[in-house]
Structure 1
Amino acid sequence: MRVSLEIKSKTKEEAISKAMAKLNVNSKDLEVEVLQQATKGFLGFIGAKEGLYKFTVIETELDIAKKFVETILKNSKIEAKVNVTQENNLIKVDIEGKDAASLIGRRGETLDSIQFLTGLALNKINKDSHMRVLVDIENYRSKREESLIRYANKVAREVAKTKKTKKLDYMNPYERRIVHSALQNDKYVSTYSEGTDPYRRLVIEYKR
């Protein structure tokens, strides 16, 4: 919900200063609507009327992402801390809290769903947004990445030894990219994907 405030003041500039102080934001974070123009009156003060200005705090994409995830946690009755940062065109949402681990799901499926829905929430507010969203819980993604890389290297060594093609379990696009990247410079095996999401899997084959 967007925070709004109406202020009466002699000038727009004075009203902005008051709004900044009361809402604890910078001027660039405020949307200003003039509801009633101020009038100077006769000789500058006789019959003068204050203007009426409506100020609305502009929600950033980071605010939207954080509030959306916090709402999911609240509805799930899970107490956790949500930290949101931005790196170029990537919004990173990190959830900290032991109970939050229940929202990861099997192989991160529930976590991926939360990430997908958060992205939809951003696009609903700003259809021209080019921001991507990455949602993580208790550093699950980095742990999963390390696990996938170990698994990929293990399977690659098996394929190199037996010279038999190996098909991995179904993975989401993010996980497939991790495996592709881990084995892209391997001398003995190559990788490619087959199938259609969500039943798309990665294949590791021996280089003939």
Structure 2
Amino acid sequence: MNKIVTSGKTIEEAVKQGLAKLGTTEDKVTVNVLEQPSRGFLGLIGVKEAKVELTLLSEQESSVPPQGTTPEKHATVFPKEQPEREASPGQDPYEAAASFIKDVGESMDIHVDVEIVHRKDSTVLNISGSDLGVLIGRRGQTLDSLQYLANIIANRYSDSFIRLTLDAENFRERRKKTLEDLAERLAAKVIRTRKEVSLEPMSPQERKVIHSKLQDHPEVKTYSKGDEPNRRVVITLKQSK
């Protein structure tokens, strides 16, 4: 075996692994970097390791260093950098945001389509495709992060403020229904036990769903307490008049 491909969190780590497997030292191989490492989106998803190819030199090659190199270390061959897909200055802001979402999907080896739906008070980017669970995340946390970034990108290319809502597999409506059902159940519990109930920390959007659902309730009221990101809704009995 005179050639091997290895991976690692960094190029150096990948090279060390290859040298160990070949049982040799760096001055006796040429190193070709096949892929640069990438932290992925938000440093959490779509992470890519460095990938290198090590080729053993012949005895003659290893004893005579190539012109312009030192005897201790041969040159490492780096691949040409691939230009990142960016929105052009005159690009439509909604298309720029949709392009960003597609790029995130590609970085995670997920093909997604993005439908741009303009509504009266906002614009919705509907994501469709397979294996969208990772884009949605636990209770929509990843989807919320993507929505935040998509809004930043869209407004960078807009002369006036625009608001985008990101949705996938009708998650927003399903999550809203889940929260409304939860609000009703907990309101009934508060009435039954005569004790207030504190919900788990939620995003401002999700807290708003709880507040809106119970704002006209005849027996209970809601308020928020705590600091972000641990701010939560409390459901308590209304004071008797």
TM-score by length of 1: 0.69
Q: How many residues align?
A: 152
Who is 1:192 aligned against?
223
- RMSD of the TM alignment (CA)? 1.6
Say whether 1:149 aligns with 2:198. no
Contact residue 80 and residue 99 of structure 1 kept, 8 A:
no
Deviation at 1:92, TM superposition (A): 0.5
Who is 2:51 aligned against?
none
Q: Hey, which of these two has a bigger chunk of helix by percent? A: 1
For 1:173 and 1:153, the matched residues in 2 are separated by: 19
Once the two structures are superposed, residues 126-180 of structure 1 have per-residue CA deviations (whole angstroms, 9 ceiling, x without a partner) of 3x43211110111111111111000100000000111111100111011111111
Who is 1:72 aligned against?
104
Deviation at 1:60, TM superposition (A): 1.9
Contact residue 93 and residue 153 of structure 2 kept, 8 A:
no
Who is 2:157 aligned against?
125
Who is 1:105 aligned against?
137
Amino acid corresponding to residue 125 of structure 1 in structure 2: Y
Partner-residue secondary structure (3-state), 2:132: helix
Who is 1:11 aligned against?
none
For 2:235 and 2:200, the matched residues in 1 are separated by: 11
Unaligned runs of 5+ in 2: 1-87
For 2:232 and 2:117, the matched residues in 1 are separated by: 31
Who is 1:168 aligned against?
199
Amino acid corresponding to residue 75 of structure 1 in structure 2: S
Who is 1:137 aligned against?
168
Partner-residue secondary structure (3-state), 2:125: strand
Contact residue 92 and residue 157 of structure 2 kept, 8 A:
no
Deviation at 1:88, TM superposition (A): 2.9
Amino acid corresponding to residue 95 of structure 1 in structure 2: I
Amino acid corresponding to residue 117 of structure 1 in structure 2: L
For 1:72 and 1:103, the matched residues in 2 are separated by: 9
Q: Hey, which of these two has a bigger chunk of strand by percent? A: 1
Who is 1:61 aligned against?
93
Contact residue 184 and residue 191 of structure 1 kept, 8 A:
yes
Who is 2:234 aligned against?
203
For 2:181 and 2:120, the matched residues in 1 are separated by: 29
For 1:88 and 1:61, the matched residues in 2 are separated by: 17
Deviation at 1:123, TM superposition (A): 2.5
Contact residue 91 and residue 157 of structure 2 kept, 8 A:
no
Please list every run of at least 4 consecutive aligned residues from structure 1 whose deviation after the TM superposition is greater than 2 angstroms: 56-59, 123-126
1:87 to 119, 126, 129: 119
Deviation at 1:125, TM superposition (A): 2.5
For 2:140 and 2:234, the matched residues in 1 are separated by: 21
Unaligned runs of 5+ in 1: 1-55
For 1:194 and 1:64, the matched residues in 2 are separated by: 37
